[in-house]
Amino acid sequence: MRKVQLEVRQVVGGQQSVINNNDLHDLHYMRMVIKEVLRLHPPAPLLPRRAREDCEIMGYKIPEGTNVQVNIFVICRDCRYWDAPEAFKPERFKESNIDHKGTHFEFTPFGAGRRQCPGMLFGTSTVEIALANLLHHFDWVFPDGPNPGSLDMSEKFGINVRRKFDLELRATPYVLSKAA
């Protein structure tokens, strides 16, 4: 978290109170972090679809009208597409042109095609601006001390995916030191 927080504070600078779109465009590492979070924890792990015509996929015959569930959770953790798929490595997106807009089927946290999530751009923009502001204006620590290794990332599955256990952090306002 320190690395992305440092990037936000360097790009935004000083005690600027409003982060704008130009700032967001320059937050490359933060965008990689968001992509990696979406890869490991897609908002909708299963995407329901219906076959519009008879087809065959990998030897399986799928009749027209069949309901199919695309398992985004598994695809985003498939070692055929991702090196060390269970590891949190935002840098994997550094030299990659993979985006979350549905054109790269190994990474479709919002679906693809005509049934893609209509709120994708609004949602990602909101996450970017909120995260940038939270990282810029606050320092974050675990209430029981710095032990991120004990963080339980278990998930609770349903129509969407959420953490099984709440994440508790303590925020303290960030004050720019005069020496900086």
User: Which residue, among 93, 115, 108, 116, has the nearest Cα to 31 in the 3D structure?
Assistant: 93
Confirm or deny that 117 is annotated as ligand binding. yes
- pLDDT surpassing 70 at residue 180: no
Q: Burial level of 85, CB count in 10 A (0-12/13-18/19+)?
A: middle
- The whole-angstrom separation of Cα 158 and Cα 46 is 9
Range of the domain at 59: 2-173
Q: What pTM was estimated for this model as a whole?
A: 0.85
How many domains, in total, are found in the chain?
Answer: 1
Whether 59 maps to a domain, the answer reads yes
Confidence of residue 148 (pLDDT cuts 50, 70, 90): low
Whether 179 maps to a domain, the answer reads no
Q: What is the CATH number of the domain that holds 146?
A: 1.10.630.10
Whether 127 maps to a domain, the answer reads yes
Confidence of residue 1 (pLDDT cuts 50, 70, 90): confident
Whether 143 maps to a domain, the answer reads yes
CA dihedral 65, 71, 72, 78 (to 10 degrees): -130
Q: What is the mean predicted confidence (pLDDT) over 100-106? A: 74
In the prediction, which pLDDT does 147 show? 67
Whether 40 maps to a domain, the answer reads yes
User: Which residue, among 29, 154, 2, 142, has the nearest Cα to 89 in the 3D structure?
Assistant: 29
Looking at the chain, the number of H-run helices and the number of E-run strands are 5, 8
- The whole-angstrom separation of Cα 141 and Cα 1 is 10
- pLDDT surpassing 90 at residue 179: no
Tens digits of residue pLDDT in 48-92: 889 999 999 999 999 999 999 989 989 999 999 999 999 999 999
Whether 180 maps to a domain, the answer reads no
Whether 62 maps to a domain, the answer reads yes
DSSP alpha helix (H) spans, the chain: 2-12, 21-25, 28-40, 72-75, 120-137
In the prediction, which pLDDT does 27 show? 95
User: Which residue, among 133, 137, 140, 128, has the nearest Cα to 30 in the 3D structure?
Assistant: 128
C-alpha 14: how far from its chain's center? Answer: 27
Whether 178 maps to a domain, the answer reads no
